[in-house]
């Protein structure tokens, strides 16, 4: 084995987005493309001598090949030890868990999250720091700057590592330890939740369906829900991670998890339904004929946190992304704790969690989590709901209705316009920003605008400032319209429109969501001219 220095030239467009670098598989397969980005990570982080790195991914196409390349590059850069999940599999929450438990310097996550997989699908890579969370902007910006100036990268010419055999081998002077992908994470979950109560729930005949969507959470759900908690075999379906996710879009929402929704809407529905996404960090909670809004799920978990042993002493605060509904704010006020509003991207929660300012976090894009790791966590959210059901004896539907009766209902929806022309989308947002100063005080339909701005966030821990994080139009009654461009797609631009209206009257808590939001939908079109700008008459996905 020898360490080689390979000449290279920069690739354009390797700036990480909100969740790392995501591109088509075919881009990553270009000679030197992955190597350049990984070299930039190592150059940014400096001395790895004697330090431990965690490595794994969601099993999508190109995962195994990428891991072999990264292992050889890690050896060339003097990394002391790499912990890699068996088969190259580690969910994003599990990577965070292992980093924290094993006191690693950080980890490399190979995933494009909920994006489609396969040879023609997407691939992604991101770096997580020593707290287990996504790298902050100062690190991702430094990585990007290195990608622009690279002239070479270092790599060992060693042969491939057997990723399917648990144990340790040497690669150059580096130890590679293939670990069980599930065990550390499962141990953590057992310490947070009342597994005895959940086991008793299943023993009483409680039924559920967990849809793994042929993605990474399947093995975790099988091991914990069927194995440790005793749910009947077959409770977890689509549990084997496939390189192309079975040809499906592994995004747990009512559109992409249509089979689960159909089951829960049918006459033979189980008591509880749930799904998780490509890399295991998102979740969808479903009752009978009821898909729970992610914003409501966060609020309900916060309002009932003390039912779970890991949260029995209460929570210190809640953090939510700005586009997420204000349902959690009402819970925080009732509990007498702070509710922080951050930009979209889980990395913004890290400082709040590390400083002990927040215990629970959530994003409207089906992401919920807590201080137990520094990523959102799909299986964790499902286990919390199981613990809540076991502790109260109430169904999902009862818990949701009781929450609305106590706090009121925040009608909420997100409209996604995917793969639109990037230039047209940017021009639309620029024009909208130009209108903001004149919108305040205007009457739009039945609403009066109280505030219109482009969200700026100042981190209360390190005072870092993030600007241009989404246009907000806030009405005097608290209703909101938010528009922003997503950073998670790989084709064109994705325009997201978020709509929210609060309803205190319990007699009006069961309206159709889109009908309840129709006046705001019309106003959003009026001020943005989105249809004319994008050429799209309807959103691609409504959640």
Whole-angstrom Cα distance, residue 198 to residue 388?
Answer: 9
19, 91, 113, 325: which one is catalytic? 113
Q: Using alpha carbons, list the distances in angstroms from residue 517 to 298, 352, 410, 411.
A: 21, 32, 10, 7
Q: What is the DSSP string of 168-217?
A: EEEETTEEEEEE-SSHHHHHHHHHHS-HHHHHHHHHTT--EEEE-TTSTH
Q: What is the 3-state secondary structure (H, E, C) of 377-419?
A: CHHHHHHHHHHHHHHHCCCHHHHHHHHHHHHCEEEEEEEEEEE
- Rounded Cα distance, 419 and 494, in Å: 6
CA angle 340, 325, 327 (to 5 degrees): 80
Q: Of 136, 132, 58, nearest to 459 (Cα)?
A: 136
- Is 113 one of the catalytic residues? yes
Q: Specify the DSSP element, H or E, that contains 439.
A: helix 422-439
3-state secondary structure 264-311: HHCCCCCCEEEEECCCCCCEEEEECCEECCHHHHHHHHHHCHHHCHHH
Distance CA 20, CA 124 (A): 7
Residue 171 neighbours by CB under 8 Å, 6+ apart: 1, 71, 72, 75, 156, 158, 161
Backbone dihedral region for residue 161 (phi beyond 0: left; psi -120 to 50: alpha; all else: beta): beta
DSSP lists the bridge partners of residue 4 as: 155
Q: Which residues are catalytic?
A: 113
């Amino acid at each position: 084995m020898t360490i080689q220095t390979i000449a290279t030239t920069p690739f354009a467009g390797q700036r990480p987005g909100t969740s790392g670098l995501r591109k088509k598989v075919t881009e990553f397969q270009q000679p030197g493309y992955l190597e350049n980005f990984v070299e930039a990570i190592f150059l940014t982080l400096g001395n790895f001598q004697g330090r431990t790195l965690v490595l794994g991914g969601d099993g999508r196409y190109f995962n195994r090949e990428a891991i072999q390349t990264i292992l050889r590059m890690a050896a060339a850069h003097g990394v002391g030890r790499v912990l890699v999940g068996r088969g190259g599999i580690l969910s994003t929450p599990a990577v965070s868990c292992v980093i924290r438990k094993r006191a690693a310097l950080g980890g490399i996550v190979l995933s494009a999250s909920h994006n489609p997989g396969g040879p023609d699908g997407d691939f992604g890579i991101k770096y997580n720091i020593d707290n287990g969370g996504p790298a902050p902007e100062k690190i991702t910006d430094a990585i990007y700057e290195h990608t622009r100036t690279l002239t070479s990268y270092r790599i060992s010419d060693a042969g491939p590592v057997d990723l399917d055999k648990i144990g340790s081998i040497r690669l150059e002077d580096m130890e590679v330890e293939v670990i069980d992908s599930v065990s550390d994470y499962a141990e953590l979950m057992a310490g947070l939740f009342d597994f005895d109560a959940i086991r008793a729930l299943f023993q009483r005949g409680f039924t559920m369906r967990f849809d793994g969507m042929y993605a990474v959470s399947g093995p975790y759900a099988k091991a914990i829900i069927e194995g440790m908690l005793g749910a009947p075999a077959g409770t977890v379906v689509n549990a084997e991670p496939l390189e192309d996710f079975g040809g499906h879009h592994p995004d747990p929402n009512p559109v992409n998890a249509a089979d689960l929704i159909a089951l829960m809407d049918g006459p033979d529905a189980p008591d509880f339904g749930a799904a998780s996404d490509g890399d295991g960090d998102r979740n969808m909670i479903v009752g009978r004929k009821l898909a729970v809004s992610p914003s409501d799920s966060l609020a309900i978990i916060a309002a009932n946190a003390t039912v779970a042993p890991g949260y029995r002493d209460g929570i210190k605060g809640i953090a939510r992304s700005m586009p997420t509904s204000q349902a959690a704010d009402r819970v925080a006020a009732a509990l007498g704790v702070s509710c922080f509003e951050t930009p979209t991207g889980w990395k913004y929660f890290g400082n709040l969690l590390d400083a002990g300012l927040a215990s629970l976090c959530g994003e409207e894009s089906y992401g919920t989590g807590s201080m137990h790791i520094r990523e959102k966590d799909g299986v964790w959210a499902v286990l919390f709901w199981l613990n809540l059901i076991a502790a109260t004896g109430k169904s999902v539907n009862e818990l949701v209705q009781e929450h609305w009766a106590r706090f009121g209902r925040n009608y909420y929806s997100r409209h996604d316009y995917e793969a639109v022309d990037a230039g047209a989308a940017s021009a639309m947002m620029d024009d909208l920003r130009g209108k903001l100063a004149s919108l305040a005080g205007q009457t739009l339909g039945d609403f009066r605008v109280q505030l219109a701005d482009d969200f700026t966030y100042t981190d209360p821990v390190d005072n870092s400032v993030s600007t241009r994080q989404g246009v907000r139009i806030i009405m005097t009654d608290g209703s909101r319209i938010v528009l922003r461009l997503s950073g998670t797609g790989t084709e064109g631009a994705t325009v997201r429109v978020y709509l929210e209206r609060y309803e205190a009257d319990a007699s009006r808590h069961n309206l159709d969501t889109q009908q309840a939001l129709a006046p705001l939908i019309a106003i959003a079109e009026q001020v943005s001219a989105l249809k004319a700008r994008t050429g799209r008459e309807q959103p691609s996905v409504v959640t």
